Structures are given as C-alpha cells and as structure tokens.
Chain A
Amino acid sequence: MVESPCAGSTVPAQSQDASASRVTLKASTPVQLRFTRAIASSQVIAGDKVDLEVTADVRVGNLIVIPKYSLAQAIVTIAQAKRTMARGGYMELKIETVRLGNGETAPLRMTEDVKGGGHKGTMIAGMVVVGIVDSPAAQLFMYVQGKDAVIPRNAEVTAYVNGDDLLDPAKFGPGAAESQPIPEAAAPTQDRSVPR
C-alpha cells in the first residue's frame, strides 16, 4: 500500500457545499502497474488494447481511491514484428486509463518505448532496462528477448494520473476508508521510476 505525498488533498469538511467534501486525486500521482500477460511486437497490432493491474493501493488521505488489482488499460500505438537482416521489432504502448474504487476511470499518461534488439542487442544481455522516450515518465523494467520487442508478463511500470480528478468519497464504499495509511517511513518508495 502506498500513500504518495502528491496523491491528493482533502477539501475542508466545514463547508456546506457538496464539492467541499470531495477529495482530489492530483495530477502526476504515480500508479504502480504490472502487465498481466506478455506482449510481443509480433503478436499485436496498433489499436490493440492491453490489460495491466495496479500493484499497490493509491490513497488520498485515508481513502483508497485506486485499490490494488484494479484494471488499467494501455493501447498499442506502434507495432512491428522482427524484420529481415536481424533488425529487431518495435513496439510502443500508451497507458490510457485506470479503474478507480468508485467504478469510474481516471486517465493516465506515459508512453512506453520498447525497441527489440538486433544481434547486437541480444548479445549484450537477455535482460535489458529500457528507457521511455517522449514522456515525462520513467525507466521501465522489462526484457528484450530475441529480435521481437517483448514485454514479459508481470513487468512493472509506473504511470501518472493525467489531470486533477475531483472525487466523492461516499461513492467508494465503506471498505475504501477502513484501512489506515501506512506511516510514511514504512511506505514503500515510489522512486522506482524516475521522471526525466
């Protein structure tokens, strides 16, 4: 479970205005995700949807706004299988949305860029840490195997909430607020992905 320092804020409860009781899931709140199946550039085409799941609760105060195991969705934006002359495949994904605890979805941002290795790439290692371009996002832990660009099952990645989202805590059900937040010192770090 993770409480991010930038996860959001609770609006003062004294106000009579309905919106005053709402909480804000702030833009750039990190959301830890993992791929639920392996994705190979030879087996997808642009426009295909790819499922991911949330690996740690995202909280605003005491409220779990994105529970662990929530579904997130990415879209394949570029796909090319391995080519002749040992040229590797190429794949790019855009993580688009995540399901919130209230059943709604929140937009996420980030583009992953995975470039499959040619002979040179495969000779270097079976496991390669691949960077992400064209985004304020982060490094991504994944394998590049053979000549196709491959994201293995359970590969982890961090996406970020795209824009502030004003939420009504009443719609999250009783379970969402029951757990107490982990003390800051005990909370796992969110710095596995370093924005650049």
Chain B
Amino acid sequence: MKSPRTICAALLLVPAMALSAPQASATDPAISKGSADQQKSTGAKETKRRLQDLACGPSSIHHTVRTEETPQSLPVQPADKALIFVIRPTHRGALVQTKLAVDKKWVGVNRVNNYFYFTLEPGPHYFCSQESDTQSLLSMVVEAGKTYYLQQKMAMSADLQLLHEEEGRKGLAKCKLSVFEEKK
C-alpha cells in the first residue's frame, strides 16, 4: 500500500506535467501540425457561423409556392444593379421547397424546375440556401450590370452553386417561374 506522502507527491506531479505539456507540443512538429489543423477547423466553423448570421433568414417564416405555367418574359438587366437568377433545374425532391435568403431575408422559394429572380445593389452579399434543416452558404461581391446564376440542388442536403453564364442560361431555359408568398 502506498504511503500518503507518495500519493501527495503524485498529486503534485500531475499538474506539473500538465503545465509542461504545452511546451512539449511547441517543439513536437507532429503535435504542432495537429494543433494547426485544429485551428483551421475552428476558423472554418467560426467563418460558417459568421456567414450564417449574415445570410440566413428567420426560421419562423414559412412560404407557400406554386409554379407559373405560362411562359414569362425575363427581366431586363438594370445598369445600376446586379440581376440574380436562382434556378433549380432538376426533378429530385419534387415536394421539397428550397428557399434562398440574402442578407438575412428570404427572397424566394423554388421547387422542381423552378426559377425566381431579384436584383441587388453592387457590393458584398451573403446567400443562404435552405432545404428542410440543411443550409448551403455562399458569399459574393456582385457588380452592377452583371447577371449571376445560382443553382439550388437537392443532394443529401441543400446545395447552392454559382454557375457560369452559359450553364445558367441553359438551366434557366428548362425552368418556370416560381410564385411564392409568406404564410400568414
């Protein structure tokens, strides 16, 4: 059986070892790399949270949505603003809504083969595409007089992708205008 003196010495030694551990990690490249990876991961999580706060709309707001079956003329590109088309040119998840918020406001809802559009002032904007409980985030500095095509996808979770113009136009041609309103 160990004497109380030995136990006390052991108890004193444990914190001392714990204190010396950071010094050891600073010199051990393997541990330093792990620490760098951890920092990177923390940075990514913080950035995601920051972007969610800047982009996503309130979760309490719900929408009704229908498809405008008659072909609609496309909007004219304003010279002083960016024009954003949001398309969802797929058949997957027919009944699932994919919403898009910009700068904390819901700006549109799509279902299969739908599109909607809106304009933005030039400058940085923050986009949040949401399907059920999952979100896909994007931040972008938009320029006046430019058209942007964003594609919402149904994968395992929400997905938002910036398309090249040609790809965007092709996708848009397959879609019909979404008409949506906030549920009261």
Asked whether A and B interact, the reply is yes
A contact residues vs B (CB 8 Å cutoff): 40, 42-47, 75-81, 83-85, 87, 90, 94, 148
Task: Say whether B141 contacts A81, CB under 8 Å.
Answer: no
A/B pair count, beta carbons within 8 Å: 65
Contacts of A43 in B (CB 8 A): 40, 43-44, 47
Take A40-B40, A46-B124, A47-B141 as given contacts and tell me if A81 and B47 are in contact as well, using a CB distance cutoff of 8 Å: yes
Name the distance in Å between B56's Cβ and chain A's nearest Cβ. Answer: 13
B contact residues vs A (CB 8 Å cutoff): 40, 43-44, 47-48, 50-51, 54, 123-126, 136-141, 155-157, 159-162
Contacts of B162 in A (CB 8 A): 78, 80, 90
Q: How far apart are the CA atoms of A80 and B138 in the complex, in Å?
A: 5
Contacts of A45 in B (CB 8 A): 47, 50-51, 54, 124, 126, 139
Known contacts A45-B50, A80-B138; 20 additional CB pairs below 8 A are A40-B43, A42-B43, A42-B44, A42-B48, A45-B47, A45-B54, A45-B126, A46-B141, A47-B141, A77-B140, A78-B138, A78-B140, A80-B139, A81-B48, A83-B159, A84-B157, A85-B155, A85-B159, A87-B161, A94-B141
Contacts of B54 in A (CB 8 A): 45
Name the distance in Å between A143's Cβ and chain B's nearest Cβ. Answer: 14
Contacts of B125 in A (CB 8 A): 46
Take A84-B155, A85-B156, A90-B162 as given contacts and tell me if A46 and B140 are in contact as well, using a CB distance cutoff of 8 Å: yes
Q: How far apart are the CA atoms of A40 and B44 in the complex, in Å?
A: 9
Task: Say whether A46 contacts B155, CB under 8 Å.
Answer: no
13 intermolecular pairs with C-beta atoms under 8 Å apart: A40-B40, A42-B47, A43-B40, A45-B124, A46-B126, A78-B138, A79-B140, A81-B47, A84-B156, A84-B157, A87-B161, A90-B162, A94-B141
Name the distance in Å between B145's Cβ and chain A's nearest Cβ. Answer: 15
